[in-house]
């Protein structure tokens, strides 16, 4: 898919050069720095089609809400967005990222959702040095062995959302678990994080089941689970696929018979679509709809007002990406050329998020509370903190600049 601007239409080089020249002349005349007159360019490379389409839209909405609440500008500069649908297709990822960085010349690259696509974006971010904010994809390596000074994440690492669920089940004395996920980095890393805590705590994995992303032919796998009769099932699914899985699990007669657990993506953003198929399901995640803080209530009201839809974890991650960018820009008076200073400020920022306050690990991944949640009606209610201020996988796997 071709990138397209949502701001002014792309213009021939000459037409582009004239306003820039005029702005520069004016800036020099009034003594303001030249960058202050130019729009700052934000590249949004996200899925706008396919099983993760709704996630990409929520992230976009969240990011734009943070900017709107900041007066529609960043450090006094107006914003121009360049958006690109990455289709959650890893094969196109590096080319797409290259195009949005080198052709659209964005000042910051925001994206994406899918860990396989993220691998391509991280490659381009490392090669070009473009400032890069990851608002979802949990690819562990992005803030592990592939970390870099210009790469930040405002969401989670895949293992981080799953480890607490393994810990909770082990503490409850659950013994035999079957895992099920799409076979790709996010699923593999989610299951690995779950197993790490669960087996350390005395649990046993009966069998690991997988299907290719983004397939939703769950029937044969549900038949196998019924035959294996484990004490519980742990899954990683998200978006449209999660909604279908919840409905199929119920239709197969497994709901209420074999308890189903997951990282919270299983039940986030899908509750309107699944009726009572998710009722009572427990998950772990860094957000919950019903976090009773003034910050979360204000965010939810503002998001609802702007978009006429309830926000979810993806909206929060996009919003926090906006807050992080604003913090960096404010520290350098909007001069993105001062990248070192900007990065230093972003590293130190404490984000006052709807999820609760969080800080950056040395690897540029959030250190954050992981909540235990339970679905009640149309909400993921927080019932406790499963792992406070969790830094996982540990940030020391990242050698910054190495």
CA distance linking residue 88 with residue 401, whole number of Å:
28
Which residue in this structure is represented by tokens 């549900």?
222
In the list 75, 82, 124, 137, the residue contacting ligand PHB (rule: CB under 6 A) is 137
DSSP for residue 9: P
Element (H, E) at 59: helix 53-69
Q: Which stretch binds ligand PHB (CB under 6 A): 135-143, 315-323, 332-340, 365-373?
A: 135-143
**Are 233 and 260 in contact, with CB atoms under 8 Å apart?**
yes
Distances 246 to 222, 250, 311, 335 between C-alpha atoms, Å: 11, 6, 20, 47
CA distances from 398 to 154, 214, 263, 392 (A): 17, 30, 24, 12
Two structure tokens written together for 238: 């998200």
60 binds ligand PHB (CB under 6 A): no
Residue from 186, 326, 342, 372 in contact with ligand PHB (CB under 6 A)? 186
Among 46, 100, 113, 170, indicate the residue that binds ligand PHB (CB under 6 A).
113
Least gap, CB of 141 to ligand PHB (angstroms): 11
- Indicate whether 354 belongs to the interface with ligand PHB (CB under 6 A): no
- The values of phi and psi at residue 276, to 5°, are -95, 10
DSSP structure string for 267-286 = TSS-TTTSTTTTTT-EEEES
Letters for 276-315 (x = contact with ligand PHB by CB under 6 A, - = none) are ----------------------------------------
Q: Which is nearer to ligand PHB, 206 or 309 (CB)?
A: 309
- 222 vs 235, beta carbon nearer ligand PHB: 235
Closest to ligand PHB by CB, 38 or 160:
160
If the CB atoms of residues 189 and 391 are measured against ligand PHB, the closer one turns out to be 189
Positions 225 through 264 that interact with ligand PHB (CB under 6 A): 238
Phi and psi torsions of 149, nearest 5°: -55, -35
Positions that interact with ligand PHB (CB under 6 A)? 113-115, 136-139, 158, 186, 238, 265
């Amino acid at each position: 898919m071709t990138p397209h601007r949502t701001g002014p239409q792309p213009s021939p080089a000459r037409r582009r050069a004239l306003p820039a020249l005029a702005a520069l002349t004016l800036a020099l005349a009034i003594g303001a720095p030249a960058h202050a007159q130019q729009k700052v360019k934000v590249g949004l490379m996200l899925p706008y089609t396919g099983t993760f389409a709704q996630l990409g839209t929520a992230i976009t909405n969240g990011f734009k809400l943070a900017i709107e609440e900041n007066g529609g500008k960043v450090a006094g500069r107006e914003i121009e967005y360049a958006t690109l649908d990455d289709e959650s297709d890893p094969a196109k990822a590096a080319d797409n990222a290259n195009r949005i960085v080198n052709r659209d010349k964005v000042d910051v690259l925001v994206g994406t959702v899918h860990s396989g696509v993220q691998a391509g974006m991280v490659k381009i971010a490392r090669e070009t040095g473009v400032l890069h904010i990851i608002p979802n994809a949990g690819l562990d390596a992005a803030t592990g062995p592939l970390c870099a000074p210009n790469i930040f994440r405002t969401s989670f690492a895949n293992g981080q959302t799953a480890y607490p669920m393994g810990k909770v089940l082990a503490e409850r004395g659950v013994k035999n678990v079957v895992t099920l996920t799409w076979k790709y980095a996010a699923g593999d890393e989610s299951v690995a994080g779950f197993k790490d805590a669960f087996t350390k705590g005395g649990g046993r994995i009966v069998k690991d089941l997988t299907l290719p992303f983004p397939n939703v032919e769950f029937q044969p796998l549900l038949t196998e689970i019924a035959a294996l009769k484990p004490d519980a099932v742990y899954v990683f699914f998200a978006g449209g696929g999660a909604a279908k899985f919840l409905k199929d699990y119920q239709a197969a007669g497994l709901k209420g018979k074999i308890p189903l657990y997951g990282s919270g993506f299983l039940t986030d953003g899908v509750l309107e679509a699944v009726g009572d198929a998710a009722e009572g399901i427990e998950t772990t995640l860094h957000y919950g709809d019903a976090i009773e803080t003034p910050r979360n209530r204000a965010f939810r009201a503002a998001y609802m007002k702007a978009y006429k839809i309830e926000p979810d974890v993806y909206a929060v991650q996009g919003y926090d990406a906006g807050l992080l960018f604003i913090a960096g820009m404010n520290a350098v008076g909007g001069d993105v050329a001062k990248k070192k200073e900007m990065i230093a400020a972003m590293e130190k920022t404490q984000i006052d998020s709807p999820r609760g306050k969080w800080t950056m690990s040395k690897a540029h991944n959030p250190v954050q509370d992981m909540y235990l949640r339970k679905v009640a009606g149309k909400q993921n209610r927080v019932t406790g903190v499963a792992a406070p201020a969790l830094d996982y996988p540990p940030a020391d796997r990242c050698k910054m600049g190495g």
